[in-house]
Amino acid sequence: MTIRYGLLSTHPPTRCGLASFNSALAAHLGRGGVVRVAAPGDDLRPQPGVVHTWAAGTPYGWLGSAEALNGFDIAVVQHEYGIYPGPDGADVLSVLRRLTVPSIAVLHTVLTHPTPRQKALLEQIVAAAGAVVTITRAARDRLLAGYAVDAAKVSVIPHGAAGYTGPPVRRDARPQLLTWGLLGPGKGIEWALRGLARLTDLRPRPLYTVAGRTHPKVVELHGEAYRAGLQELGAALGVAADVRFASAYLDDAALGELIRSADVVVLPYDSTEQVTSGVLVEAVAAGVPVVATEFPHAVELLTDGPGLLVPHRNPAALANAIRRILTTPALAATLRGRNGRAEPALRWPAVARRYRELAATLVADRRRVAVAR
């Protein structure tokens, strides 16, 4: 069965985790097109693979988006509260209700303590969609426990990984620590810097690379204040020479080389709600040991897996975990060896195959119903 996929999401040239996810999924699903959700200030020029753009501020923009999606066999709708117009992004519900083709809603955020409006909106999205995907088991469990939804609709399909595998890249003799992704408050870099200050006795001293531009929404509201504050903190802690801020946008080749150069990927995120982390998945798939705070996606992938978990906002625990990996070759080797358990299922081709199987079921069911009528 040949299926044409319509995907609704932010999408490149917008730079955010959701846009990257949607771009990769669209590429691996094959036949189809993207209905792009554009934020204020986004480049609105035509883009390859984009069949319609839902521009911010467009009256009844959901209507044109739904009609464009109805030109495909199935709609795959990425959901985050902050990307669609309306209170808490409520206009996405109007799209789902206007669809005449089956739909899959992919939930990238499932809150433990939503507002009443957020809770009601997510319940209505699940009710309107033909099927629902969560990225992790933790998100599925949270959805079923805290929301009035039909459990039979919910599947778990992991976040895909490009798989930046290959021989390690040695940049210099210093141990390499790495965090990458869009920068902004909540990333927890300040805790990693405080942890780094506890590792200055190591010889050679570790070099910590923080790669990625500041999140566009953060720049819009606060400029580069967060990055400047981190640089000031590094100087105050005496580790300015041990930190490298790489703010340029990295293409796949450059990012792959950077990841393969890392001895430890550090994810010191503040959030206790985060059920999806593309950076975490890429680190695991690349075979690099990870030190992460205990956010749900990290707990799911790293427990008895390829990394160490630490409490939130605890620089001493971060430093201790990093020290153990850098100074205990047997531990580092063990963690690298554990990556192989999860890696094949995390590659984008395997993930896209799961979406195709789910889509085929929905499309076949819809066609059977149509024939019966």
Distance CA 257, CA 262 (A): 9
Whether the predicted pLDDT of 360 surpasses 80: yes
pLDDT computed for residue 41 by the predictor: 83
Supply the angle between the helices 189-196 and 315-327 in degrees, to the nearest 10: 60
Question: Is the overall model pTM greater than 0.75, yes or no?
Answer: yes
The residue with greater pLDDT, 78 or 372, is 78
Average pLDDT, the chain: 93
149 touches 126 (CB < 8 A): yes
The secondary element (H helix, E strand) that includes residue 292 is: strand 290-293
pLDDT of residue 342: 63
Over residues 305-333, mean pLDDT: 97
Q: Give me the pLDDT at residue 340, please.
A: 59
**pLDDT interval class at 167 (50, 70, 90):** low
pLDDT of the residue at 369: 76
pLDDT higher than 80, residue 165: no
**Stretch(es) of the chain classified as CATH 3.40.50.2000:** 5-160+347-372, 176-345
301 Cβ neighbours under 8 A, 6+ residues apart? 280, 281, 284, 307, 342
pLDDT in tens, 94-107: 999 999 999 999 99
Question: How far apart are alpha carbons 168 and 248 in whole angstroms?
Answer: 22
Q: What are the helix (H) ranges across the chain? A: 17-29, 61-69, 91-98, 116-128, 137-146, 189-196, 216-222, 225-237, 252-261, 278-286, 296-302, 315-327, 329-346, 348-372
Q: Going by C-beta distance under 8 Å and a sequence separation of 6 or more, which residues neighbour residue 112? A: 142, 146, 272, 273
**Per-residue pLDDT, 341:** 60
pLDDT number for residue 344: 79
Distance CA 206, CA 239 (A): 10
Q: What are phi and psi of 60, to 5 degrees?
A: 55, 40
- Across residues 114-131, what is the average pLDDT? 98
What is the CATH number assigned to the segment(s) 5-160+347-372?
A: 3.40.50.2000
Structure tokens at 321: 């975990």
Over residues 235-258, mean pLDDT: 91
Is-contact 35 67, C-beta < 8 A? no
| Element containing residue 293 per DSSP (H, E) | strand 290-293
Res. 373 pLDDT band, cuts 50 70 90: low
Angle at 124 between CA 154 and CA 114, to 5 degrees: 85
Closest CA to 231 of 218, 250, 246: 246
Token digits for 171? 């940049």
pLDDT tens column, 186-228: 999 999 999 999 999 999 999 999 999 998 889 888 999 999 9
Q: What is the CATH number of domain 176-345?
A: 3.40.50.2000
Asked which of 53-62, 118-127, 263-272, 319-328 is least confident by mean pLDDT, the reply is 53-62
Give me the half-sphere count of Cα atoms (radius 13 Å) on the Cβ side of residue 327: 13
For the stretch 323-350, pLDDT in tens is 999 999 999 999 988 865 666 788 999 9
Q: Is the pLDDT of residue 3 over 70?
A: yes
Cα–Cα distance between 167 and 169 in angstroms, integer? Answer: 6
- What pLDDT is recorded for position 272? 93
Q: Region 87-95: what's the mean pLDDT?
A: 97
**Torsion sign (Cα): 298, 301, 303, 309:** negative
